[in-house]
Amino acid sequence: MPIPCCTHGVFVMRKTDLMEEKSEHFTVSARTAPAPRSLSRGSRRPGAERRKGSVMLIAIFVIALLSALVCGMLQMNTEEIQLMQNHIYAAQAIAVAEAGLNDALAQIRLDDDWTTGFAGKPFAGHAYTVTVSGELPTRTLESTAATSQGYMARAAADITVGRTSPYSIRIDNLRINE
The answer to whether residue 106 is domain-embedded is: yes
Q: Are 145 and 96 in contact (CB under 8 A)?
A: yes
Q: Are 98 and 143 in contact (CB under 8 A)?
A: yes
Other C-beta atoms closer than 10 Å to the C-beta of 73 total: 10
The answer to whether residue 50 is domain-embedded is: no
Other C-beta atoms closer than 10 Å to the C-beta of 27 total: 9
Query: Which phi-psi region, left, alpha or beta, contains residue 60 (left: φ > 0; alpha: ψ -120 to 50)?
Result: alpha
The answer to whether residue 24 is domain-embedded is: no
The answer to whether residue 159 is domain-embedded is: yes
Report how many domains make up the chain. Answer: 1
pTM of the model: 0.62
The answer to whether residue 87 is domain-embedded is: yes
The answer to whether residue 114 is domain-embedded is: yes
Rounded to whole angstroms, the Cα distance separating 54 from 3 reads 50
- Residue 103 domain boundaries: 72-176
The answer to whether residue 143 is domain-embedded is: yes
**pLDDT at residue 164, as a whole number:** 86
**pLDDT at residue 16, as a whole number:** 47
CATH code for the domain in which residue 108 is found: 3.30.1300
The answer to whether residue 28 is domain-embedded is: no
Output the CA–CA distances (angstroms, integers) from residue 40 to 35, 43, 48, 50, in the order listed: 15, 7, 16, 20
Q: Are 130 and 109 in contact (CB under 8 A)?
A: no
Q: Which of 141, 145, 134 is nearest to 156 (CA)?
A: 141
pLDDT 10s digit of each residue in the chain, 178 long?
A: 555 544 555 555 544 444 444 555 555 555 555 555 555 555 556 666 667 778 889 999 999 999 999 999 999 999 999 999 999 999 999 999 999 999 999 999 999 999 999 999 999 999 999 999 999 999 999 999 999 999 999 999 999 999 888 889 999 999 999 8
